[in-house]
Chains A and B, each alone.
Chain A
């Protein structure tokens, strides 16, 4: 690991209640490694309990009957008389007591399609079956027939007439900018679906409670999303719906919204059966039905001067939302807000629209719209550098945001701007200038018979920290620090641990404020009957936003205890609890000072702060086959003050590899709106042999709005890996691959001029019926 801290900074151990002045260096009170992962020993010994590890005696097994057509009317569900249906339980839409809707933004997605209703995608849930054993369940599924009337389907977002949302962001006068420009460069870039591919499949277990309530245990990022969904569909009170997160084997956005659907299915079955019901997806069902990263088509038109100055940007973003709205408008919004890249441009117009297609709904995935648009932005920068014969590094030096610059929403970047810092850090660590000179020389001297070509490529990015716009204000999350009657300090929040280290970082932050060892602080379980709603575990907000609430809560707790005991908290809190009983401090989110955004006009501070990243990738391309080997990647990331370096590096390394998978091998092909890559043998993610050596460089420009100076880190590295790899492929071969993933098929067709594969993310039509 390399940590870059300004000269004179000391790493010291003493905790103090610190407010980081804007733009100042991180004084850094955390050691170079941070405490050991709290739940690590449980995970390393197989003792951690994931949903499918939980045992509920007498539990039944649940299954979902799904559509096998992309668009149709559901005519009937026929139960074959040859089967004894008394031994199973069937749930249809008619069994839903409340609203038949799984909603985050728009009330369009049903929990189960009612008979007579519209089926809008291939994996849509039509009804549910539960049985006491899996053999009976399997037999019942074989005896249930679905009758449908097929309707015409739309697969191409560019041809769709149904819009989920649109928006436009403008700064300056782009027409005037283009009139002034000496060179105008255009490009269209397309990206396909990407699957989160957490290694633990989605899983929920529902237990009916006397009186109609239900308790759900499962794998999820956002227990309170599920809580809300259960209350609405099952007409339950706050107390009647209880959601408890089991150990969660990865999420990456994929367990943000779909778990609500599975929990509802399990709960509906459990209430009708009167016993616990397990809904444990296998990989095939998980891949077929759950949300993916949105495919997108992004068109850029850029005006520059011969000396390299950027004068105008026009960007058009079209995203494929799939069959239902889900989180699509927010994904589009983040995509549009990041579409220009981290570059100062006086005249900008960015338009975005999200369209409906008859494919399974797309949703949250690490980066949330930004990896798509930033891939396009960086492709465009690298192509412009080539057109101007300026090095990609130099061009970025010229364009990168500095403090005081204004973004396309009119946001003035007042502090914590590390674009140039990450650029220089990555360029230096990768020895970019020397290697790119070397690959150029080798390329120019290369014989036509050469088999291998090496290249180096660079990309830069930014990522708005926390929710877009007024999101945090609307959520108004609450997190708490409690001193229990028994004299134990514990953290209460709904933030889930799914690998990123929530249960390690929160106690660390709170302990730091209280002058305790991290091990002395416990974390309450993510159980909606115990912890407050501190908001979802998404948008890289856990450490920055909720961590910030906890720091504030801990400070208040410390002050209150010390005011009574007149001794340091660490020495007196146990005595305090004995004498006075417990004390709990709830901290509600307050808007960051001077951060204002208008959700109607899209003007203002789109994010309280941005993280900054730069990646440099080196690749080898096999010119016979188009196969790419990514050799190594340097990723320099600024996420403000780093609380826990080992965990932060883990985020950078993991996010970088997901970006490399996105760039090279992760592809979903569709026929008739159905994913063909619906097994792990066909949806491929990088193995250890495919993964490059990754060097993570943590650059720290603290954010003053957070009491601990942290910005988000989870999504940031996902934005820059893919365009860096594609730039390296170009450096090696001389060809630009405009579509992701840059598969050997696409590369070879570019090298040989052979017909290119079709557009990523767009379904082939159904094979003709009756054809031989």
Chain B
């Protein structure tokens, strides 16, 4: 009993200590950047004429590749903007926070950034996190642009815009592309039913396939818990006679599917969406298997236009890897913010809420050009208008399919 008591009292003491530390932290933050409603004016005072842009993504864990791509690319874009003289002559400060692919942590990350004095949010990287965070940005009236949150509900509120295509758009575009180019008569689908992105595209693709010149003959699901053996799904597609297999999934699983299809001697056309980008960089993957793989993606790292070449070179120099589509979206997002702020002639001492209002109207007026599309414009509902590009893998490189 005594032992218990001593533990308890120690725990209580440390809890109190933690409480006071937290309180102090709150104090310090309140003074520096402002945490409350009255803080907007205060926050900008101490910021001293700097725009503060924050980014959120999974920097650790299984999805770290995506979060790091987004946060690194945003960092790169900010560095380039600052080197070129900033936005409207004001420098930009940048901070990133980890959300571990957890919506709860994403909200915590958002609150941390808010304490830091963030005025515009680039994030969250993933859909579910982005939706959770948008609830709070709406409350605070903070402008949010998600580079890669593709679920429909991500842009439910009018203060949220996105750079990437929405899931339904990708499903519709894929169905139309397959139809228009007479790629198949029978289509098999393998998708990840535990993934928001994958099942979102799948649903819309099947809906859109009604009345097209092909038929969907098999639709097989897997989940994040059993994504190592795809022989059953492939066998079903093969038995159904599918001559094209649609893979609305991420490249890691797709590389396994391609390898296993090859072992089975099954050689249909494989068709992917933007999550497929990156398949050539998978370790221990025989890239010759990806030969002939088609994918709809807004970004290909080996495009030859100046913007892409420079971006890829700088990114590689700084972070030592080839940027993927997530990075491109985030890079664009920062430049879109820059363009929108410049369009309205905003200064950093504008309150966060006023910046949001101004950017909301600016977004529907500007026409941006970036890595992921030469021409992007936005509806007030937050959806981008841009053309999907189809690429095909030939000789281990992306080549435009048209």
A and B bind: no
Which A residues form the contact surface with B (CB < 8 A)?
A: none
